[in-house]
Amino acid sequence: MSGLRQLGPAILFCVVAGAAQADDALVFGSFKNASNAENWSSRMRVLLNVDVNVVPARGGDGTDIYRVVTAPLAEAESVRVRRIADNRQLKYWRLLDVGTEDAAVARAEPPAALPPPVRAENPQRRPNDQPPARPVEVIEPAAVRSSDVVQMLDIDLGAQARAFFEEGLDGQSKFHPSVSVTVEYYRAWDDERQSLTFTPYYRYDSEDDERTHFDLREGFWSLVGNDWDLHLGVKQVFWGVTEFNHLVDIINQTDQVENIDGEDKLGQPMAHLSLVRDWGILDFHLLPGFRERTYPGPEGRPRFFVPIDTDDATYESGAGDSRVDGAVRWSHHLGGFEFGLYHFNGTSRAPLFDTVVDGDGTLLLRPHYPVIDQTGLDAQAIFGDWAFKLETIYRTNFPDDYYAFNAGFERTLVGAFGTRADLGLVVEYLYDDRGDAAFDTFFENDLAVATRWALNDLGDTQALIGVVWDHDSNETIFTLEASRRLGETWLLLLEGRAFAGAADLDPDNPFDPANKGASVAQDDYIELELTKFL
Amino acid sequence: MTFRTFASLCQAVLLGSAAAATAVAAAASAAAVAAGFSITGLDPEAAGLAIFREADRRASGYGDLTVDLEMRLKTESGKESTRGLGIRQLEMPDDGDRLLVVFDSPKSYRGAALLSYAHKTEPDDQWIYLPAVKRVKRIASQNKSGPFLSSEFAYEDMALQEVEKYSYRLLDTRMEDVGLAYEVERIPADRYSGYAREVVTLDAAELRIQSIEYFDRQNRLLKTLVVSDYGLYEGRFWKPTRMLMTNHQTGKSTELIWRNYQFGTGLDADRHFSTNSLLRAR
């Protein structure tokens, strides 16, 4: 035994003396990662139809390794297993005389420069044995590539034109051109266990100074384990399933100047830990620092008729915009059913408003951000070509407690009308417990219906055409979103919104909660955006 | 192959008669036996199933693999468009395999990814990640008959085809360019499939799919897939380099070019194939 240790300075190759007739076991590779070893062991168990276990051992370089080892095999069984392995060209070697305590001592993979390893077998003990396969240890194939660095740089340039059909309430112009640039840099190393993502964004708007803005959409470091992820930095997280309103989504602040659909978000500083378990995924978010919601300036549109004073926001928290917020979410899927349940405690992303008059006598709305608790649930169930969707929240201290939900379905017709196009029918009901008093949303008791088209042509033309209708107030919003690729590096986007059914703004009762649409009644628009991907 | 098998094959090719059919059948069973499984004495349904079981068995045990895929779409008027995808696949011991497709080009697709958990009998679980809105969206796998990335391949053609999802019938055994070949009809068990049936041709020696004819719900010939340029990997897995799907009803076609197969790269079920991994797939 000790003599074999002298084979080479880097080789620690232990063979154990023991009862000559003991059964032997086969080693099907060694791994530096226990879970990879488990994975491989379960595959071997199925393939070889013998008991296969993971045995911790010490590698030649002193690190812990995990071996995939069969149970001790009787001679006939061993022959059978080796035959399967040879047929499959699986590499293995024999761990002799298991049952003695030294049996699990490992041999390290010798450096390439060293001579091929010597068989770990005493030839005198088993003279009739056919030569076993060359003992080769498969040490974590992925680790071989661990020095690889993956890098990607993408730059998107956008030119956007918004055309309004009428002048704004305050005489804002009809034509709003703007340009934007998004840079995404990604760098991964350590076999993509670590990565950096950096996504700055800038838009220049010719009309609205507030819409001209810079934001770090994302800028974070990730460390990825087998069943956990850790992300530190500025990041975006989306939750939700419904189409017309994103009730449960709360981690990131809405970048309202970009679009009123609530889908553009500001980067949020966070520490985000995600655990993957058999019973679902657990997400922990620690959110230091608060981002104020962006609002169009006096020249911007569409906007509320009273400009919003984003310079003097107030906070309920004594820490102002430095409060550390938090959220925990559990999500899981079972067959065609999936859900996410979370609780958020922190500064509300949506503000309350105080009416103030500034030095010039101008009426302004000043955002006030209270500290809220919000519990939210999103769920989706798929039955055949039907998908049923639900989002619901319960929010406290805003300024009262209330609940809201979106519920609906989407039905997809593949190859609609004998064409290669897919047609989706989306129906959602949007409800807010506060009724008309829900000052921050149009959707307090609305029915939304849309058709989604995917033409499945070379340009991947898609369109979502919808209408949201409030049957109490008769206010109606028509929406259109369509996109089409032009060649390999251009994307054309068409978007439009029309607001109907609202009465004109009443100067004596401008804040009439039953006529919230009055502010945007003249803001129907069509938007065309061309994006070049560099 | 034994001399007798070879002789009866020659006979079959030369004679082209009823007697030859018997000779081919004899050769077929000999080939099957040589390859380690037998369909002798089985009725056509059992033979068809046995062929696909054996083909599946031979393709199993790969552990995990990664491969790059280029799709070339061509319209009837000759317009072309290409897509580049990275594919990762993991064999699960007790379930269907897992598949992650990362979209690489055109660049407007970049960062998008598709995750699929195949199941032997239950509908597959599928999610797609839309990077523009950071949204993971569950997609109904029942929409399987729709085009995959606007190509002539439907989602169900790209999905991992578990043996249990079809019923089979051996239609014919005959000589093809690749040698002795089986022609097997398979009927999808799933009523959401876009096909009434498929006719699959496999070479008897290695049970590699050579072509598939797809018949639509009205049982008209819809598409033909020709699979070619097989290479042997890891000494035991036959994988194709090219697949050409032609739609006979529209004249459109899609060619798939598979490059850079790698086996045993150490992919992990949770780390590389959870919905979390969709968010960071590159």
Q: Decide if A141 and B264 are in contact by the 8 Å CB cutoff.
A: yes
Q: Are A430 and A293 in a shared domain?
A: yes
Nearest CA-CA partner of B109 in B82, B76, B77: B82
> For chain B, what is the radius of gyration of the CA atoms?
20
CA–CA distances in Å: residue A161 to residues A225, A467, A526, B132: 44, 23, 8, 20
Please report the residues numbered 257 through 276 in chain B whose beta carbons come closer than 8 angstroms to any beta carbon of chain A. Answer: 264-271, 274-276
Using CB atoms, pick whichever of B107, B266, B270 lies closest to residue A142: B266
Q: Residue A95 sits in which domain range?
A: 3-143
Is residue A90 within 8 Å of B236, Cβ to Cβ? Answer: no
Nearest CA-CA partner of A67 in A101, A99, A25, A16: A25
Per-residue confidence (pLDDT) for residue A142, from 0 to 100: 37
Range in A5-14, A221-230, A339-348 the model is least confident about: A5-14
pLDDT for residue A31 is more than 90? no
Using CB atoms, pick whichever of B134, B150, B271 lies closest to residue A237: B134
Which of A109, A126, A143 is the last residue before a domain boundary? Answer: A143
- State mean pLDDT over B107-122: 87
Q: What is the 3-state secondary structure (H, E, C) of chain B?
A: CCHHHHHHHHHHHHHCCHHHHHHHHHHHHHHHHHCCCCCCCCCHHHHHHHHHHHHHHHHCCCCEEEEEEEEEEECCCCCEEEEEEEEEEECCCCCCCEEEEEEEECHHHCCCEEEEECCCCCCCEEEEEEHHHCEEEEECHHHHHCECCCCCCEHHHHCCCCHHHEEEEEEEEEEECCEEEEEEEEEECCCCCCEEEEEEEEECCCCCEEEEEEEECCCCEEEEEEEECCEEECCCEEECCEEEEEECCCCCEEEEEEEEEEECCCCCHHHHHCHHHHHHCC
The domain total for chain A is: 2
Using CB atoms, pick whichever of A47, A338, A457 lies closest to residue B150: A457
- State mean pLDDT over B233-250: 92
Angle made by CA atoms A195, A266, A366, in degrees to the nearest 5: 155
Q: Are A291 and A407 in a shared domain?
A: yes
Range in A13-22, A415-424, B248-257 the model is least confident about: A13-22
Query: Which DSSP helix (H) or strand (E) runs through A44?
Result: helix A34-48
Pick the residue of A488, A491, A492, A529 with the most B CBs within 10 A to test the interface with B by mutation: A488
pLDDT for residue A124 is more than 50? no
CA–CA distances in Å: residue B5 to residues A164, B172, B178, B184: 79, 18, 16, 22
Using CB atoms, pick whichever of B93, B134, B140 lies closest to residue A385: B140
- State mean pLDDT over A493-504: 89
pLDDT band for position B28 (50/70/90)?
A: low
Task: Decide if B218 touches A, using CB distance below 8 A.
Answer: no
Rounded Cα–Cα distance for residues A498 and B225 (Å) = 47
Nearest CA-CA partner of A340 in A442, A251, A432: A251
ipTM score: 0.80
Domains, in order of start, for chain B: 1-34 (no CATH), 41-60+161-259 (2.50.20.10), 64-69+78-160+260-280 (2.50.20.10)
Nearest CA-CA partner of B211 in B220, B221, B202: B202
Q: Decide if A188 and B282 are in contact by the 8 Å CB cutoff.
A: yes
Q: Decide if B63 and A384 are in contact by the 8 Å CB cutoff.
A: no
Residue B231: count other Cβ atoms within 10 Å of its Cβ. Answer: 11
Q: Are A257 and A219 in a shared domain?
A: yes
Which of A128, A143, A158 is the last residue before a domain boundary? Answer: A143
Angle made by CA atoms A320, A325, A326, in degrees to the nearest 5: 175
pLDDT band for position A16 (50/70/90)?
A: very low
Q: Strand A25-31: give its sheet, edge to edge.
A: A52-58, A64-70, A25-31, A93-95
Is residue A470 within 8 Å of A479, Cβ to Cβ? Answer: no
Bond preceding residue A135 cis, omega within 30 of 0: no
User: DSSP string covering A259-322, please?
Assistant: -TTS--B--EEEEEEEEEETTEEEEEEEEES--PPP---TT-SS--SS-B-TTS-EESSTTGGG
Q: Are A200 and A277 in a shared domain?
A: yes
CATH number of the domain to which A68 belongs: 3.30.70.1070
Q: Among residues of chain B, what percentage have pLDDT more than 90? A: 49
> For chain A, what is the radius of gyration of the CA atoms?
32
Per-residue confidence (pLDDT) for residue A32, from 0 to 100: 72
What length is written for chain A? 534
Q: What is the pLDDT of residues A208-258, one digit of tens each?
A: 999 999 999 999 999 999 899 999 999 999 999 999 999 999 999 999 999
Q: How far is CA A322 from the centre of its chain?
A: 25
Pairing of strands A194-205, A213-224: antiparallel
Range in A62-76, A343-357, B168-182, B244-258 the model is least confident about: A62-76
Amino acid at B89: Q
Q: Among residues of chain A, what percentage have pLDDT more than 70? A: 84
Amino acid at B190: D
Q: Decide if B143 and A385 are in contact by the 8 Å CB cutoff.
A: yes
Tell me the average pLDDT of chain A.
82
Q: Decide if A533 and B108 are in contact by the 8 Å CB cutoff.
A: yes
pLDDT band for position A495 (50/70/90)?
A: very high
Looking at per-residue pLDDT, the higher value among B150 and A347 belongs to A347
Looking at per-residue pLDDT, the higher value among A270 and A100 belongs to A270
Per-residue confidence (pLDDT) for residue A127, from 0 to 100: 37
Strands in A300-421 per DSSP E = 314-315, 324-334, 337-347, 352-357, 363-369, 371-383, 386-395, 402-413
Range in A46-55, A241-250, A392-401, A422-431 the model is least confident about: A46-55
Q: Are A472 and A497 in a shared domain?
A: yes
Using CB atoms, pick whichever of A39, A186, A236 lies closest to residue B134: A236
Q: Are A282 and A162 in a shared domain?
A: yes
Q: Are A215 and A233 in a shared domain?
A: yes
- State mean pLDDT over A321-348: 95
All residues at 6 or more sequence positions from A280 whose CB lies less than 8 Å from its CB, including other chains: A330, A331, A332, A333
Q: Are A46 and A158 in a shared domain?
A: no
Per-residue confidence (pLDDT) for residue B26, from 0 to 100: 53
CA–CA distances in Å: residue A233 to residues A220, A230, A291, A320, A338: 4, 10, 14, 20, 28
CA–CA distances in Å: residue A332 to residues A377, B139, B183: 12, 15, 43
Q: Are A173 and A79 in a shared domain?
A: no
Residue A455: count other Cβ atoms within 10 Å of its Cβ. Answer: 17
Q: Are A188 and A301 in a shared domain?
A: yes
Q: Which residue has the tokens 């880097």?
A: A10
pLDDT band for position B248 (50/70/90)?
A: very high
CATH number of the domain to which A163 belongs: 2.40.160.10
Pick the residue of B58, B145, B223, B271 with the most A CBs within 10 A to test the interface with A by mutation: B271
Query: Which DSSP helix (H) or strand (E) runs through A185?
Result: strand A175-189
Nearest CA-CA partner of B181 in B170, B196, B168: B170
Looking at per-residue pLDDT, the higher value among A154 and A117 belongs to A154
Range in A422-436, B89-103, B135-149 the model is least confident about: B135-149
Is residue B187 within 8 Å of B166, Cβ to Cβ? Answer: yes
pLDDT for residue A457 is more than 60? yes
pLDDT band for position A8 (50/70/90)?
A: very low
Amino acid at A63: T
Per-residue confidence (pLDDT) for residue A62, from 0 to 100: 64
Per-residue confidence (pLDDT) for residue A361, from 0 to 100: 83
Per-residue confidence (pLDDT) for residue A87, from 0 to 100: 67
pLDDT for residue B81 is more than 80? yes
Looking at per-residue pLDDT, the higher value among B170 and B159 belongs to B170
Per-residue confidence (pLDDT) for residue A59, from 0 to 100: 63
Pairing of strands A363-369, A314-315: parallel
Residue B22: count other Cβ atoms within 10 Å of its Cβ. Answer: 13
pLDDT for residue A126 is more than 80? no
SS3 A425: strand
SS3 A392: strand
Using CB atoms, pick whichever of A222, A281, A531 lies closest to residue B280: A222
CA–CA distances in Å: residue A218 to residues A316, A331, B75, B103: 27, 23, 39, 20
pLDDT for residue A18 is more than 60? no
Angle made by CA atoms B152, B155, B160, in degrees to the nearest 5: 120
Q: What is the pLDDT of residues A137-188, one digit of tens each?
A: 444 433 334 458 889 999 999 999 999 999 988 889 999 999 999 999 999 9
Question: Considering only CB atoms, which chain B residues are within 8 Å of A33?
Answer: 266, 268
All residues at 6 or more sequence positions from A80 whose CB lies less than 8 Å from its CB, including other chains: none
Task: Decide if B35 touches A, using CB distance below 8 A.
Answer: no
pLDDT for residue A3 is more than 50? no
Which of A91, A110, A143 is the last residue before a domain boundary? Answer: A143
With the C-alpha atoms ordered B105, B110, B112, B114, is the resulting torsion angle positive or negative? Answer: positive
Q: What is the pLDDT of residues B116-128, one digit of tens each?
A: 998 887 888 889 9
Q: What is the pLDDT of residues A200-211, one digit of tens each?
A: 999 999 999 999
Q: Are A179 and A58 in a shared domain?
A: no
Rounded Cα–Cα distance for residues B186 and B200 (Å) = 7
Q: Are A163 and A46 in a shared domain?
A: no
CA–CA distances in Å: residue A8 to residues A14, A117, A198: 12, 10, 47
- State mean pLDDT over A277-293: 95
Closest CA of chain A from B232, distance in Å: 13
- State mean pLDDT over B8-17: 39
How many interface pairs between A and B have CB atoms less than 8 angstroms apart? 139
